Chain A
Amino acid sequence: MSIAAVSVVDATPRGKIIAAVLVIGYALITMIPLIWIVATSFKSPPDSISYPPKVIFQPTLEGYVNLFTTRSRQTPEYIESLGPPKTWYDALVRERNMIITGPSRFAGRYMNSVIIGFGSTFLAVFLGTLAAYAFSRFRVPLKDDLLFFILSTRMMPPVAVAIPIYLMYRELGLNDTHLGMILLYTAVNLSLSVWLLKGFVDEIPREYEEAAVVDGYTRFQAFVKVVLPQMRAGIAATAIFCLIFAWNEYAFALLLTSGTAQTAPPFIPIIIGEGGLDWPAVAAGTTLFLVPVVVFTVLLRKQLLRGITFGAVRR
C-alpha cells in the first residue's frame, strides 16, 4: 500500500485546493507542540518560563549542557578561585553561579535504550520470521488457536503483567538487567511480529520454494535462499514497529529497571525534579529522544505505512 497510489475518482480542482488547505492546516497545528519542544530545548531557563511565551529568543545550548551534566551551586567567590573556565560549557554553567560536578546519567540511559531496543527488535524479528514461515507453510496442529493465543497476549495491560514478571524476575535475578528487558520486549513484540510477517510470507508464491526443492535444495536452504530475500521489505516494516515500541515503552521500564538497565523514557520525566524545573533540559532530552523516531518515520514511511495498514488490508 502506498499513499501515492491513485484510486480516486477525480476530485475537482477546487475540491483539491480546499482539501489541501485543510490538511496542511491540520499538519501545521499538529506540528506546533513538536516545534515548541525543539525550540524550548534551545532556550535559557528564564526564557522557557516567561509570559507571554517567547517565540523569538536568544538560542543557547544551556539545556543540552544541563541535560548531560550534574551541577552544584557555589558562591561567586569560590567560582572565581577556580580560575578561568576551561571549556565553553564550563563558562555557560558558571554564568548561573554553578560548577559542573560530573556527567549526568542521561547518556547511559540513552545507551540502554539503544541496546535494549535493538536487541529486542532483532530477537523479535528473528523468532517472528521463523514462526511466521512455519505458520504460513506447514500444517501446524491447533494453528488457529496458537495464532489467536499469540495475538491475545497483547490485550493484557502491561501493569497487570508486570506484577508476576516482577516476582519472576526477582527470583531469577533478571530485575534491572538488559537481558531481562530484552526478553520481555521480545515477548511483547512477538505477537505483532508473527502476525505481520505471516502476512508477508503468505504473499510469496510457494512455487518458488517448490522449484528450489526440486532443484535439490533442502527445505531449510530453500527458506534461507529463496524466501528470506523476498521477505526483506516485510522484515524491515516489522523491525521498525518493534523498534518503535521498545524505544518508547515506559510501564515495564518504570517498574522493572532502576540503576543499571533503565531506559530513557522513565528517566526523562524525572529530569524535571532535579534541582528546580529545568524545562530546557527536559526539552533537550525529549528532542534527542524523538529525533531518531522522526528520522525513521520520514525515511521509512513506505514500510511503516505498509506495516500499519497491513493487517487491515489483508482481511
Chain B
Amino acid sequence: MSDHVDDSLSVPAASAARRRPPRAVRGLSDRWIATLFIAPSIVLLLAINIFPLIWTVYLSFTNFRANQPGREVNWLGTKNYARLLGSEDVWSYLQATAHFVVWTMLIQVAIGLGLALLVNKNFKGAPVWTTIILIPMMLSPAVVGTFWTYLYQPQTGIFSYIVDFFTGLGPIDMIGSVKLAPWAIVIVDTWMWTPYIMLLCLAGLRSIPDYLYEAAEVDRAGPFQTFWYITLPRILPFLMLAVLFRGIENFKMFDMVVELTSGGPGSTTELASINLKREAFEKWRTGYASAFAVILFVTVFGLGNIYVKALNRVKQ
C-alpha cells in the first residue's frame, strides 16, 4: 500500500533543503519541528501497537498463561501453531468467518452500488434521505447486536412478526436455528454497513466527468453499455477500496456478533475473533491464543496486500 503515499508535495521542499545549508530562520529548524511533531505519535504507536505485537509473537511460542503468573514459562517452539492448524475446530471458526465476510461483502456491494446509482439521480430530497440511510453505520455494534437479539425474538420480535406477516411462515427463530443464525449476523451487518459502500460508490460516481456520458450519448451507447464501459470502470477502484476496509473490519468482527449470538447455536457463528477471546480471556491459554492472534494478523495482512495489488491493477 505504501506506493500510494502522495509524495509530490514534499519533493520541492526536500530538494530545496538538500541544496542549501540550514536556513537562518528564526525559531526551531525544520528538522527539529519534524521530529518534535512526529515523535509523540510514533512513540505512542510503538508503545501501544508495535511493542505489544512483538510481545504477542514471543508469547505465541510459549506456554505462558496470564492467570498463573508464578508458573514456569516454557519455550514450545511451533507447537501452538501446529496445534492450531491441525485443529478441525479452528478451521470451522475460520470457515464461519469466511462465510460472514464473503456474504456481507457480496450483498452490501449489490445493495450499496444500487443505492448509490439511485441517489445519484439527484431527485428532490436526496441529501436528506441519504443522511437518514447513513445513521446505522454510526451506531455502536455491540449495542446494535444486543438490541437485535430483541428484534429477532421468534415470538415477540418485530423481525419475525414482519417476515411472518408477509410470508405466513410462522415464528422464525433466527438466532436459535443452525441454518438461519449465520444469516442473522449477515443481515444485521448489512443493515449497518451497506450505507458505507453506498457512500464510497457515490464518491466514485461523482468523480466521473459529464463529458464521458455525453460522448457515450453521441456514440448511441445503451444504458447498459454506458454502465459497463464508463460507470463501472470508474467506480471500481472506489468500490474495491470500500470492500477492502469493510473486509478487514469484518474479518476482525467481534462485538456485534458476540452480543447477538455469542457464537451459537453450537459453534455456527463462532467467528475467529470470538474464539480468540475465549481462548485468551476465558481459558487464559495466553500462549496458544497469541499464536492464533498472529495467524489472524498474518492472514489479514496477507490477504490485504494481495488485494491491494489487485486494486492497483484495476486503477491503472
Q: Which residues from chain A sit less than 8 Å from chain B, CB to CB? A: 1, 3-9, 11, 15-17, 19-20, 22-24, 26-27, 30-34, 36-37, 40, 48-53, 127-128, 130-131, 133-140, 143-168, 183-184, 186-187, 190-191, 194, 202, 206, 213, 216, 218-221, 223, 244, 247-251, 255, 264-266, 268-269, 272, 279, 282-283, 286, 289-290, 293-294, 296-298, 301, 304-305, 308-309, 311-315
Contacts and interface: CB of A to CB of B under 8 A. Distances in A.
Contacts of A128: 41
A168 to B, nearest CB: 7
Contacts of A26: 111, 115, 133
A250 B140 CA distance: 8
18 contacts: A5-B206, A23-B133, A26-B111, A48-B156, A51-B155, A128-B41, A130-B41, A137-B13, A139-B10, A157-B273, A158-B273, A163-B66, A164-B53, A219-B27, A248-B142, A250-B140, A251-B277, A297-B135
Given A155-B301, A162-B281, A251-B273, 6 more contacts: A3-B127, A131-B37, A159-B277, A159-B293, A161-B293, A218-B25
Contacts of A290: 139-140, 143
A186 B45 CA distance: 9
A305 B9 CA distance: 25
Q: Which of A11, A33, A186, A289 has the most CB of B within 10 A?
A: A33
Contacts of A134: 33-34, 37-38
A40 B151 CA distance: 11
Q: Which of A145, A157, A251, A286 has the most CB of B within 10 A?
A: A157
B71 interface: no
B251 to A, nearest CB: 8
A6 B191 CA distance: 27
Contacts of B200: 308-309, 312
B129 A138 contact: no
Nearest 6 CB-CB pairs, A to B? A218-B27, A160-B293, A164-B52, A139-B14, A248-B140, A250-B142
Nearest to A160: B293
Nearest to B56: A164
Contacts of A309: 199-200, 202-203
B263 interface: no
Given A19-B119, A134-B37, A138-B34, A163 B289 contact: yes
Interface stretch (B81-89, B100-108, B173-181, B252-260): B252-260
B186 interface: no
Given A1-B203, A309-B200, A312-B204, A206 B217 contact: no
B72 interface: no
Contacts of A30: 132-133, 135-136, 191
A16 B208 CA distance: 19
B150 A131 contact: no
Contacts of A279: 150
Contacts of B254: 157-159, 250-251
Nearest to B195: A30
B127 A4 contact: yes
B241 interface: yes
Contacts of A249: 140
A127 B41 contact: yes
Contact of B238 (A49, A157, A312): A312
A277 to B, nearest CB: 9
A40 B111 CA distance: 29
Contact of B6 (A4, A165, A314): A314
B123 A17 contact: yes
B248 A20 contact: no
B9 A202 contact: yes
B123 to A, nearest CB: 4
Contacts of B238: 312
Interface of chain B: mostly helix, strand, loop or mixed: helix
B76 interface: no
Contacts of A311: 241
B199 A308 contact: yes
B313 interface: no
Nearest to A49: B156
Interface in B233-292: 237-238, 241-242, 248, 251-252, 254-255, 259, 272-273, 276-277, 280-281, 286, 289-290, 292
B146 interface: yes
Contact of A301 (B131, B209, B289): B131
B7 interface: yes
B146 A190 contact: no
A28 to B, nearest CB: 9
A294 B123 contact: no
A19 B209 CA distance: 21
A218 B26 contact: yes
B143 A289 contact: yes
Nearest to B146: A269
A283 B144 CA distance: 10
B115 to A, nearest CB: 6
A225 to B, nearest CB: 13
A136 B50 CA distance: 23
B169 interface: no
A289 B140 contact: yes
Interface in B1-18: 1-7, 9-10, 13-14, 17-18
Contacts of B202: 3, 309
A145 B42 CA distance: 12
A305 B44 CA distance: 28
